[in-house]
Every structure is written in structure tokens, then in C-alpha cells.
């Protein structure tokens, strides 16, 4: 099939390249000339495992191409995917500026009947709005249909998730559009949920909100476990073996970050607000998550009292491992608080330093390795469970620090490992070990 994808951000690029891999002819359109040139030369602007290889293979086979020209890009396409960003607006709702602009651009240049497929995460009802914008601005006499096909990709494993996801959701109020999308996606060989437009939009928000709830829930249980002398590792394992609960997303820590969960939970609350429907569960999910970010520093202050003049090593800055993404990373709030308390902060992250420098306070110092960061430190804090950080041995803390005092916000070590290590170890939802 002939497909256009508008927007070559993380969702659009992965979608375009993976659809090409299935054998479709894909033209990706982006307004950023430099990015388009880079992509046409086989270089991916983002790091996603396996993406650049697939990009190069499909460029070579002429299955995928990149352009800044709408007219050329939309020519003869049976489907046009909308995959532009929907950042968080000032009031917490999704900002639709890019969606509106892309819809107008499509309308201006579309010369044949097509199905518009929304990949971007958009508030319920937006697909109908997109259809209105396009229909109101069409230059040529053509008919469009609209469908929603939300993505559930995790950063870092987006290509894998595209081919091995749990389900594909397609929603439309038009039977033919549904059939076309079903045919396009058949090659993925995954279960397909067919539904109406609004339910598809809702599935995306409800799924992310549920996962965010699971994280805030386990964090709340962790905080309580700690206070009453239980161990959250055991609690989560015991809970997760119940298939109705499920074992995944029960890792306690310093809360969720990233480009999706914080934004989407706030957006769904704001959808409710617009129609005067309160969502107390989700409001608390957001509040618990905010609180969770400061918990590690609160613990530290309780133990050390005064951070003035103390050197704190911060290990891990990105919102999760295997990405350089700093969006809504707990490290932002944590480093700000540490500096406010008068600490000297030396941070290490295997890949996120360049992005971290753009968002963390200017006083943060950076180290090239975990060894260098903890050298001569009074306290070390783990914020992201990178392999390099999990594998940095406890003896490394003991040998390099004044007194090995480690606060682990991601429960990277099991408690047996820490016993007799010479490290005083504070983690989330588990007893303190004076190793």
C-alpha cells in the first residue's frame, strides 16, 4: 500500500520505517529540512535499537523516502498517518498546535481520496476535529475518512514493540477505513482490536493512566512497607504472582517520568475537567508521583541533617535506562533540591549528559564515570538503573567515598548483596542495611 507519514519524531519515524519493512511504500514528510536530509542519508536522528539498520535497508530497497514537500509526499497515498507531537499545554491539556498545522497542510495539498490515521496521542474527540479542519480547508475535491491507531511503544524498545506488541488498536466510525487499516497491519501478525474512533482514543489514555496508577500504587505500598518493617520486593513478588494483578510495573522507585506518563495522566484529568468530571484516583496518582521524587532527598536529609559543603554523587540522570531523554526525569527535581540544600553535585550518566546540561541547574558538575563521580563523595544517590550503574560494585563505593553512604532510588541491589559490604544502604520500601 502507498502510505504517507507526517512527522518524523520518535513515533512517526518508527511507524514509517516499520511499515516500510512490512512491504508498504512509505513517504515520510517533515518540515525540518536538515532532519529530512539526514534521514535520506540513512542516519537516524534518535537512538532506538535496530532503527537505523531498518532505515538503511528500506532506503536501499526504495520502500521508504523522506521529504519536506507535502504535495509530492501525499501524491497517490491511500493512507496518511499523522504522527506530530502533542506536548503538554500550560493548563495540563494536550497542545494541538502541531496537529492543527499538519491538518491544514494536508488539506491544502491532498489531491486524492484517502484515510487519515492519527498516531499522535490526542484527547477524545480530536479525530473528529481533525476531520473538520481538513474538510474545511480542502483545495481539491476529494473525500477523506478518519481513523485512530494509537501507539504503545516504549522508548528504547520501540522497534521491538512495533513487531512484538500485545495488540494493535484501530478505531474508526467508517467500516471501510477499518478494513483498510486491518489490511495494512496484517503483516505485524498481532491481535487487532477494532473499535470506534472515541474508544480508540480512550484506550491509549486509559492504558497509560492505568500503568501510571500501578507505579504510584506500588510506590505508596513501598513507603508504607518501609515504615512498618516490610520489604517491598517480597510484597511485589507476592502480589504479582496473582495473574489478575500481574508482575510487571510493580518496581518501586522514585516515580515515573518520560514523555508519556506524566503528560498523558495530566491530559486525561484535564479531559475530565472540561466536562466537569473529577478524576480523584488519577489526581492522586500524579500527586503521589510528585511526592515520590523528593522522598530520596528527604531520607538523605533525615540521615545527614546538613548538606552544606557536602559532595553528593548523582548516578543516572535520564528518566529511565537506555535513553538520553530527560523529559520529566526525577533527576531534575532531585538535583535542584540538593543544590538548594547547599550540596556540591557531581553527576554521571552514560548517555544523557548533553541533554541534562540543557535542563539541570548550571551548578551541577559532570563526571565521565561512576568511579569518578563517587570519588571523595560524602553521599551517593542512584536515580536511574543503568546497567553501568547496577554493575558498579559496592566495593567501588567503599573504596572511593569518605564513608560509603548510598541512597538507591531504583532498588538496584538486593539486600543480601549489601550485607557485610561496608556500605550503608538506603533504598525504597526496604529496611536500611548497615553493611
Q: Which residues bind ligand UDX (CB under 6 A)?
A: 151-155, 208, 215, 249-251, 253, 256-258, 260-261, 319-320
Minimum CB distance to ligand UDX, residue 217 (Å) = 10
Are 428 and 252 a contacting pair, CB within 8 Å?
yes
Catalytic option among 18, 28, 260, 412: 260
Nearest CA to 18 among 105, 81, 109, 87?
A: 81
Long-range contacts of 57-62, Cβ-Cβ distance < 8 Å, separation of 24 or more = 57/21, 58/17, 58/20, 58/21, 58/26
- CA atoms of 46 and 33, how far apart (whole Å): 16
Question: Considering beta carbons, is residue 12 or 253 the nearer one to ligand UDX?
Answer: 253
Judged by beta carbon, residue 319 or residue 413, the one nearer ligand UDX is 319
Smallest gap from Cβ 162 to ligand UDX, in A, equals: 11
Q: Which is nearer to ligand UDX, 258 or 350 (CB)?
A: 258
Task: Tell me how far apart the alpha carbons of residues 277 and 269 are, in angstroms, rounded to a whole number.
Answer: 9
Strands 433-434 vs 424-426: parallel, antiparallel or unpaired: antiparallel
Q: Are 222 and 232 in contact (CB under 8 A)?
A: yes
- Surface-to-core class of residue 157, CB atoms within 10 Å of its CB (0-12 exposed, 13-18 middle, 19+ buried): middle
Q: How far is the CB of 77 from ligand UDX (least distance, A)?
A: 25
DSSP character at residue 57: H
Minimal distance in Å, beta carbon 220 to ligand UDX?
12
Dist. CA 195–CA 173, nearest whole Å? 8
CB nearer ligand UDX, residue 93 or residue 331: 331
User: Closest CB to ligand UDX among 125 and 246?
Assistant: 246
Which single residue brings its beta carbon nearest to ligand UDX?
A: 260
- From the CB of 320, what's the least distance to ligand UDX, in Å? 4
Radius of gyration of the chain (CA): 24
Judge whether 260 counts as a catalytic residue. Answer: yes
Catalytic residue numbers? 260
Amino acid at each position: 500500500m502507498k502510505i504517507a507519514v507526517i512527522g518524523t519524531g520518535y513515533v512517526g519515524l518508527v511507524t514509517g520505517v516499520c511499515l516500510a519493512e512490512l512491504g508498504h511504500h512509505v513517504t515520510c514528510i517533515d518540515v525540518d529540512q536538515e532532519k529530512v536530509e539526514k534521514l535520506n542519508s540513512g542516519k537516524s536522528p534518535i537512538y532506538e535499537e535496530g532503527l537505523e539498520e531498518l532505515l538503511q535497508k528500506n532506503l536501499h530497497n526504495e520502500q521508504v523516502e523522506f521529504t519536506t514537500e507535502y504535495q509530492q509526499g501525499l501524491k497517490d497515498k491511500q493512507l496518511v498517518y499523522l504522527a506530530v507531537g502533542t506536548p503538554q499545554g500550560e493548563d495540563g491539556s494536550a497542545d494541538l498546535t502541531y496537529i492543527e498545522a499538519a491538518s491544514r497542510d494536508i488539506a491544502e495539498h491532498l489531491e486524492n481520496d484517502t484515510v487519515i490515521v492519527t498516531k499522535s496521542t490526542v484527547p477524545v474527540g480530536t479525530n473528529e476535529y481533525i476531520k473538520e479542519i481538513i474538510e474545511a480547508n480542502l483545495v481539491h475535491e476529494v473525500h477523506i475518512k478518519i481513523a485512530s491507531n494509537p501507539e504503545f511503544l516504549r522508548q528504547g524498545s520501540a522497534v521491538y514493540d512495533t513487531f512484538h506488541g500485545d495488540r494493535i488498536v484501530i478505531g474508526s466510525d467508517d467500516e471501510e477505513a477499518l478494513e483498510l487499516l486491518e489490511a495494512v497491519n496484517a503483516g505485524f501478525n498481532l491481535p487487532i482490536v477494532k473499535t470506534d474512533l472515541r474508544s480508540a482514543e480512550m484506550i491509549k489514555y486509559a492504558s497509560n493512566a492505568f500503568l501510571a496508577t500501578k507505579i504510584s500504587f506500588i510506590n505508596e505500598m513501598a513507603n508504607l512497607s518501609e515504615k512498618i518493617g516490610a520489604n517491598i520486593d517480597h510484597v511485589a513478588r507476592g502480589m504479582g504472582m496473582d495473574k489478575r494483578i500481574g508482575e510487571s510495573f510493580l518496581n518501586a522507585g522514585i516515580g515515573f517520568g518520560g514523555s508519556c506518563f506524566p503528560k498523558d495522566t495530566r491530559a486525561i484529568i484535564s479531559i475530565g475537567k472540561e466536562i466537569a468530571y473529577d478524576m480523584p484516583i488519577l489526581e492522586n496518582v500524579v500527586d503521589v508521583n510528585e511526592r515520590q521524587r523528593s522522598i530520596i532527598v528527604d531520607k538523605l536529609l533525615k540521615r545527614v541533617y546538613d548538606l552544606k559543603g557536602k559532595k553528593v554523587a548523582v548516578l543516572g540522570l535520564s528518566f529511565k535506562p537506555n535513553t538520553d531523554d530527560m523529559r520529566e526525569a526525577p533527576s531534575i527535581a532531585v538535583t535542584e533540591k540538593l543544590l538548594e540544600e547547599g550540596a556540591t553535585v557531581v553527576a554521571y550518566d552514560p548517555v544523557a549528559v548533553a541533554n541534562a546540561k540543557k535542563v539541570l541547574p548550571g551548578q551541577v558538575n559532570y563526571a565521565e564515570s561512576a568511579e569518578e563521580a563517587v570519588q571523595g563523595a560524602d553521599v551517593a544517590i542512584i536515580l536511574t538503573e543503568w546497567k553501568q550503574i547496577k554493575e558498579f560494585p559496592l566495593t567501588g563505593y567503599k573504596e572511593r567515598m569518605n564513608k560509603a553512604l548510598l541512597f538507591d532510588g531504583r532498588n538496584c541491589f538486593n539486600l543480601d548483596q549489601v550485607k557485610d559490604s561496608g556500605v550503608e544502604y538506603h533504598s525504597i520500601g526496604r529496611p536500611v542495611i548497615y553493611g
